[in-house]
């Protein structure tokens, strides 16, 4: 029984990889070019190339392998889009034989157009403004939230664009709600754009920082002038800012938050990477909770799957006196594609 349980995950992963990610490539190529007869080397490149490109960065992290990894993941994203077009075509073809070569070119064009649109969408930075009542404040305060930038999957140039856009918003504070980084050995130089932020910046860790060189990341960010909050509270005038480390446990907020002294005369803001522990945060007296993590699914129809794990997975939600805001993410993880979601910089106006 134990051996069977060990085999099941491998079967699931193998079925997904070959059925969802590789079959569309081979099937559409076969339809488009009916005389194509791939040899063993070609099949190996198609089947193993994306995996090799992805894991090359894990084996030997450097700018070249990082680009190979990003390219491989984006290629797999295009394969997923092709799969979404191919499945209904296969059913239609079973009912009534469709012209093979024309269908191949049509599927190829549809995949290319939608994939190109998804890629272009990742380059656009939308600014969304959220108005929040904060009677505890003696003056209006503007906060910019970014989340899930994923430097590693995304480049330092993209981070510089994000910083430049933030500076145009004239924020009083910038809050980074985790997954700023998702790669090993992301140097201080690659993160140096953060030193150009014109507002005091506060950061909490996400799950991806925990997967790599967390302590080194925190040191690099502190060197760049970013305030790192690790299960601690900080006072910003009329604001009590609390930052909690990301954890897989659903009880993280419930466990950590009571260790901090609530300041009843302050407007209390909680930064936590994933939208968990909302009820406990409201009971403690948090007024505004800022999260990320979900990416709003990033690629349709994955958003339906994400929503099963996080029923609150994008935008504003109320829990008693607490307002929860979940960013759809500023960058992307994995494929550099966004379909049915957007890359966002959130402007929160407290008044």
More confident position, 49 or 256: 256
- Count of H helices and E strands in the chain? 11, 12
Q: What DSSP character marks residue 151?
A: B
What lies within 8 Å, CB to CB, of 351 at 6+ separation is: 131, 132, 133, 134, 137, 140
Confidence of residue 239 (pLDDT cuts 50, 70, 90): very high
- Look at residue 21 and tell me whether its pLDDT is greater than 80: no
Among the listed residues 208, 155, 158, the one whose alpha carbon sits nearest the alpha carbon of residue 179: 208
User: In whole angstroms, what is the distance from residue 242 CA to residue 28 CA?
Assistant: 51
User: In whole angstroms, what is the distance from residue 63 CA to residue 56 CA?
Assistant: 11
pLDDT at 13: 67
- Look at residue 1 and tell me whether its pLDDT is greater than 70: no
Q: What are phi and psi of 176, to 5 degrees?
A: -110, 115
Looking at the chain, the whole-number percentage of residues with pLDDT higher than 70 is: 96
Residue 66 · residue 183 · CB < 8 Å: yes
Exposed / middle / buried, residue 319 (Cβ in 10 Å: 0-12, 13-18, 19+): middle
Q: Which CATH architecture has domain 125-350?
A: 4-Layer Sandwich (3.60)
pLDDT at 6: 59
* Positive or negative torsion for Cα 151, 207, 254, 325: positive
Residue 225 has, within 13 A of its CA and on its CB side, a CA count of 12
Radius of gyration of the CA atoms of the chain, in A: 23
- Look at residue 257 and tell me whether its pLDDT is greater than 60: yes
Confidence of residue 12 (pLDDT cuts 50, 70, 90): low
Looking at the chain, the whole-number percentage of residues with pLDDT higher than 90 is: 70
Residue 152 · residue 183 · CB < 8 Å: yes
- Look at residue 3 and tell me whether its pLDDT is greater than 60: no
* pLDDT tens-digit readout, 269-310: 999 999 999 999 999 999 999 999 999 999 998 888 888 888
Residue 81 has, within 13 A of its CA and on its CB side, a CA count of 27
Range(s) within the chain of domains with CATH label 3.60.21.10: 125-350
Residue 239 · residue 212 · CB < 8 Å: no
Q: What are phi and psi of 315, to 5 degrees?
A: 90, -155
User: In whole angstroms, what is the distance from residue 23 CA to residue 46 CA?
Assistant: 10
Whole-angstrom CA distances from 20 to 85, 86, 321 are 11, 10, 44
């Amino acid at each position: 029984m134990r051996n069977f349980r060990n085999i099941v995950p491998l079967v699931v992963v193998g079925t997904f990889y070959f059925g969802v990610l590789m079959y569309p490539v081979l099937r559409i190529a076969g339809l488009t070019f009916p005389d194509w007869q791939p040899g063993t080397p070609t099949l190996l490149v198609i089947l193993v190339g994306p995996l090799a490109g992805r894991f090359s960065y894990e084996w030997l992290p450097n700018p070249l392998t990082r680009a190979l990894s990003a390219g491989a993941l984006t290629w797999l994203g295009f394969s997923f889009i092709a799969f979404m077009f191919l499945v209904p075509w296969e059913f239609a073809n079973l009912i009534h034989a469709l012209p093979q070569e024309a269908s191949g070119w049509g599927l190829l064009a549809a995949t290319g157009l939608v994939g190109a649109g998804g890629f272009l969408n990742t380059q656009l930075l939308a600014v969304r403004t959220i108005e929040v009542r904060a009677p505890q404040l003696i003056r209006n305060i503007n906060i910019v939230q970014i989340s899930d930038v994923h430097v590693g999957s995304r480049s330092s140039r993209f981070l510089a664009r994000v910083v430049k856009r933030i500076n145009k918003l004239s924020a009083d504070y910038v809050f980074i709600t985790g997954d700023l980084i998702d790669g090993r050995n992301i140097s201080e130089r690659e993160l140096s754009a953060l030193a150009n932020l014109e507002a005091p910046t506060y950061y909490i860790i996400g799950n991806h920082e925990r997967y790599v060189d967390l302590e080194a990341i925190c040191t690099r960010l502190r060197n760049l002038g970013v305030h790192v909050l690790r299960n601690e509270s900080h006072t910003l005038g009329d604001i009590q800012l609390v930052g909690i480390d990301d954890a897989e446990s659903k009880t993280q907020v419930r466990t950590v938050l009571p260790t901090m002294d609530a300041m009843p005369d302050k407007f209390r803001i909680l930064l936590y990477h994933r939208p968990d522990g909302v009820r406990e945060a409201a009971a403690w007296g948090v007024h505004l909770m800022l999260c990320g993590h979900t990416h709003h699914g990033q690629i349709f129809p994955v958003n339906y799957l994400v929503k099963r794990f996080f029923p609150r997975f994008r935008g504003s939600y109320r829990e008693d006196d607490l307002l929860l805001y979940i960013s759809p993410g500023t960058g992307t993880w994995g494929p550099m594609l966004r379909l049915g979601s957007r890359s966002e910089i959130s402007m929160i106006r407290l008044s």
